Structure 1
Amino acid sequence: MSNYSKTAAMMQRGTDFLGCETAILCGAMSWVSERNLVSAISNAGGFGVIACGAMTPDLLDAEIAATKAMTDKPFGVNLITMHPQLFDLIEVCKKYSVSHVVLAGGIPPKGSVEAIKAFGGKVIVFAPTLALAKKLLRSGGDALVIEGMEAGGHIGPVATSVLAQEFLPALAEDHVVFVAGGIGRGEAIASYLEMGACGVQLGTRFACASESIAHPDFKKAFFRAKARDAEASVQVDPRLPVIPVRALKNKGTEEFTKKQIEVAGMLDRKEVDMGAAQLEIEHFWAGALRRAVIDGDIENGSLMAGQSVGMVTSEEPVADIITQLMEQCEAALAGR
């Protein structure tokens, strides 16, 4: 970080919190953010995060163990709050003394934050509104990620630039806040650091890194795509609180619309309750993502991507991506 003195100074609180060299987190992408990519990011000075997604406790156990074998640097684990075995997954994190646990996908259930902090883990939370952000930070959240609608995967309704203007003046002085969504270059990182952020989170820029296990056809779809190709899914039934998902449009996107209609029908027939209905949707995404990322089925699988996908044009090593971002950020800050 000695080459990036201005950036390092502005990221200091973020790097102190994460325990790494540069406060660039990798967003948790199911099937992509696994041992290979996570360890590569941490080894390059960033902060890798395992995407637990729909993993069972045994699978998460194996993934953490494998990641620890590939890096001695800090990394985190992202847990979905609606996972039916959330507390068992937290126990796995405890077993390995995971330093940071990211709770995503909704308000953390009672006792989950306390369970993580009890073994010394730091809790990173997401919040779509300032009021909820303040509540989660008061309730034990150690850091906050504000993520705008430009991001890939599950998204909220407000743009990153607007969220940053609303959240950072109110929270940045007293709290560790990271900004995510639509970030593809270092100049954008510089602007958020100047607004008070301690660091940033990127997913799409890392999805096609050399160390990513994503199928070559998945990566080629990213290389061909423009920002406008990453579209948000549509909510079919207002009773079914489905969080929109941003992905490259294909047949899989259309299949999700059909899936929502199917699950709404199950609700009508009282075959499932609302919690089970939401899990049904999550399992759909887990399967669709696997088809695209692992099997290379880019027509029927889910190509979750943020709008920064237009800036992903070739396969590059993680270390080169981080270096580019830091150089761009430092040049932007130096030129102010």
Structure 2
Amino acid sequence: METYPKTAAAMKRGTDFLGCETAILCGAMSWVSERNLVAAISNAGGFGVIACGAMTPELLDREIKATRALTDKPFGVNLITMHPDLMELIDVCAYNQVSHVVLAGGIPPKGSIESIHDSCAHSDGAKVICFAPTLALAKKLLRSGADALVIEGMEAGGHIGPVSTSVLAQEILPELSADHLIFVAGGIGRGEAIASYLEMGAAGVQLGTRFACATESIAHPDFKKAFFRASAREAVASVQVDPRLPVIPVRALKNKGTEEFTAKQREVAALLDEGGIDMAEAQLQIEHFWAGALRRAVIEGDVENGSVMAGQSVGMVTREEPAADIIAELMGQCEAALTR
């Protein structure tokens, strides 16, 4: 870090909070953010985050232990708030002394933040990071006990909110960043953008798409090739078919899989009409669809029928390179921008 003095100073609140050298978090990408990539990012000075996704408590326990075997640096665990076993997953994080838990996918259920604070990690408990797509929700989450927030714009890959990163940053950073830790995410592909958010008061940033094709990522070679070929405009948001089915839009590369998702929504909406399932089960079915479609693309390499989740920064991903090189490039660009 001694070669990036201005960036290190601008990121100090973030690095103190995360316990790492560089306040760059890797966004949790299901099937991609597993032990190998998480450990590589943490070993390179960033902050890796395990994507729990639809894992069972037993699987998460194994993944945390396997990641610990590859790095002695801090890393976090991302939990989906609608997971039916959320409290058991929190217990797994506590048992493994995880230092940071990221809650994503909706408002954290009652008692979940308190449980993480009380049971995880050190004497003062684990730190809780929450996603805030609006200023009002950001304030509510901070009142509820969140230690830090990620504000993620619609340019991001995977599940997205309705507002762009630049607008969210302008709304939220001037109001909250003096007293709270805010990390900015969505569409960040270069260090100059990182510098601009740090200057606005961000404690750090989160990137997913730039890391998806890292050398250490276990994603299938065909999945990575789809990224290298894609431009920003090919990473499109999914369409909501039925207003009663509040499906969080997902950004992915346009293919047959995006059409299949539209058909899946119609199928689930019909089941709702018939009273065959309730709303919670409907949303779970949608989540399971995404988990399966994502696995087909990431692990099996079926980039036509699977879900190739990617942010609009995908046009800046042109080759496979080690996570350490990606972080060094981002930091160098950020330092140059802050020095100017």
Provide TM-score, normalisation by structure 1.
0.99
Of 155, 158, 161, which residue of structure 1 is paired with 2:163?
A: 158
Which runs of structure 2 are paired with 1:155-194 in the superposition (5 Å)? 155-194=160-199
Alpha-carbon deviation of 1:127? 1.2
1:107 positional shift: 0.2
Q: Which runs of 5+ in 1 are unaligned?
A: none
Partner of 1:270: 275
Deviations 1:236-286 (A, max 9, x none): 000000000000000000000000000000100111100000000000000
Structure 2 match to 1:97:
97
What does the per-residue CA deviation read over 1:112-144, in whole Å, with 9 as the maximum and x for residues that have no partner? 000000021100001111111111111110000
Q: For residues 145 and 319 of structure 2, what CA distance do their matches in structure 1 show?
A: 40
Distance 2:109 2:161 in 1: 20
Cα displacement string for residues 131-168 of structure 1 (whole angstroms, at most 9, x for unaligned residues): 11111111110000000000000001100000000000
Deviations 1:205-255 (A, max 9, x none): 000000000000000000000000000000000000000000000000000
Q: The residue matched to 1:304 in structure 2 has which SS?
A: coil
Query: How many residue pairs were aligned?
Result: 335
Name the residue aligned to 2:83.
Answer: 83
Which secondary structure does the structure 2 equivalent of 1:70 belong to? coil
Gaps of 5+ in 2: 120-124
What are the within-5 Å matches in structure 2 for residues 117-266 of structure 1?
A: 117-119=117-119, 120-266=125-271
Distance 2:301 2:144 in 1: 42
The match for 1:69 is: 69
Q: In structure 1, what is the Cα distance between the partners aligned to 2:298 and 2:32?
A: 7
Identity %: 82
- What CA distance in whole angstroms lies between the structure 2 residues aligned with 1:141 and 1:299? 39
1:60-105 deviation line (CA, Å, top 9, x unaligned) = 0000000000000000000000000000000000011100000000
2-structure distance, mates of 1:128, 1:37: 26
The letter of the residue matching 2:320 is: E
2:305 is aligned with 1:289: no
Q: Deviations over 1:280-301 (max 9, x none)?
A: 0000000000000000000000
Task: Give distance in 2, aligned partners of 1:153 and 1:316.
Answer: 22
Secondary structure of 2:142's partner? helix
TM-score (norm. length: structure 2): 0.98
Distance across 2 between alignment mates of 1:127 and 1:176: 12
1:4 aligned to 2:9?
no
* CA–CA separation in structure 1 for the residues paired with 2:303 and 2:286: 19
Structure 2 counterpart of 1:325, one-letter code: L
Partner of 2:122: none
Q: Which letter does structure 1 place at the counterpart of 2:75?
A: F
Matching residue's letter, 1:283? H
- Aligned residue for 2:163, secondary structure, equals coil
